[in-house]
Amino acid sequence: MSGPRRAFWAVLILIALGLPFIDRNSAHISAYVDTGYIVLLALGLNIIVGYTGLLALGFAAFYAVGAYTYAFFASPQFGMHVSFWLMLAGGGAVSALFGVLLGAPTLRLRGDYLAIVTLGFGEIVPQLLQNLDKYTGGPDGIASIDQPRLFGFSFGFNPVPYYYVCLAVLAISLWLLNNLRHSRLGRAWMAIREDELAAAHMGINTTATKLLAFAMGSAFAGLAGVLLAGKYGAVSPSGFDFNTSIMILAAIVLGGMGNLTGVFVGGIIIGLLNSLLLPQASNLMHALGRFTHIPVLQAVDLNQYRFMVYGGILVLVMLFRPEGLIPSATRRAELRVQHHDAVVTGAGAEHMAAQEPVV
């Protein structure tokens, strides 16, 4: 790691560790935790979309699978009360399994077709959760889910312990993902993204490797789901819709697909926007409305417009910085070369030997 990057991470770690002491407002801390879950989701989706190049939509479905798995195993719903810590692994595993079940029949599809099928899956899961009310509690979902306990101490609704658990999970995830990126498997993922047929000729079992990307990406979403269900003690289908999937996609596109730092930063920006800034801005508007006696402002709910905001972000990023805020060197080169090709076509571009420095 280069000097500036090391410094970036060092500062980030210090801020992250101290945040609940700097900002003691528990609503804020709760929003930071929710932001962490979005970062976790973005890291998972990045394996599938950023590394392996499979455009999967409907990723929130795997988030739902994790959350409901925990709800089933740790609530009065079925009278089971399995430990939260055990279910962190369990929820991840069940989501991974769903990833494989969805992936196995669909991964031979490419590009747009894969996007459509995964989009469909993303729609089906919340529908099932709504309608299988005998098991899922329907639109109301499942409540009274066990909250995590550690050494006899129950987390309850105090956000601080959730904050540190989330931080630990994120730190471990980043370490694992950074290792994977530079491993045999990480190279295989990227080779598939670059040229699937050539990758197969290098001895890569492309089907298994793509399935693994799906399974591991989904496992992260499942993990996030268990964390979420434990924190709120309740789940309902509304948090796992298409809009949530788009939000996660917006995070990785904004940050820079395929680059861990970028995806991390993108997740934080979108997460803060979603959990903290928009609700806060609404409150500000209400106060302003009361002050100025303008009823429209008093009633405005900016949260309603959040998806317009994400859509806007996606469009702006695509227009002005398609490689994202902190792109992987690869993606930056890719987009530059494409741009270059549009100007210098054919052989000219082929012989261009401009050196791109590697990170």
55 binds another protein (CB under 8 A): no
Measured distance CA(75)–CA(162) in Å, rounded: 19
Orientation of helix 184-194 relative to helix 159-181, angle to 10°: 70
Angle of the 60-73 helix axis to the 242-255 helix axis, nearest 10 = 120
Q: Which is nearer to another protein, 212 or 269 (CB)?
A: 212
Q: Is residue 272 within the footprint of another protein (CB under 8 A)?
A: no
**Number of residues written out for the chain:** 359
CB of 95 closer than 8 Å to CB of 65: yes
3-class SS of residue 54? coil
46: Cβ contacts below 8 Å, ≥ 6 apart: 177, 217, 252, 257, 258, 260, 263
Minimum Å gap between C-beta 91 and another protein is: 19
Looking at the DSSP assignment, which residues form a beta bridge with residue 154? 149
Q: Which is nearer to another protein, 24 or 108 (CB)?
A: 108
Q: Is 313 one of the binding residues for another protein (CB under 8 A)?
A: no
205 binds another protein (CB under 8 A): yes
Which residue from 115, 119, 128, 333 is in contact with another protein, where contact means CB under 8 A?
333
Does residue 145 belong to the site contacting another protein (CB under 8 A)?
A: no
Q: Which of 7, 14, 176, 316 binds another protein (CB under 8 A)?
A: 176
200 binds another protein (CB under 8 A): yes
How far, rounded to the nearest angstrom, does the alpha carbon of residue 1 sit from its chain's CA centroid? 24
Please count the residues of this chain forming the interface with another protein, following the rule CB under 8 A: 39
* CB-nearer residue toward another protein: 123 or 334: 334
**Per CB under 8 A, 319 contacts another protein:** no
**Would you count residue 355 as binding another protein (CB under 8 A)?**
yes
DSSP 153: E
Chain residues that interact with another protein, rule: CB under 8 A: 176, 179-180, 182-188, 190-191, 194-195, 197-206, 212, 330-331, 333-334, 337, 350-358
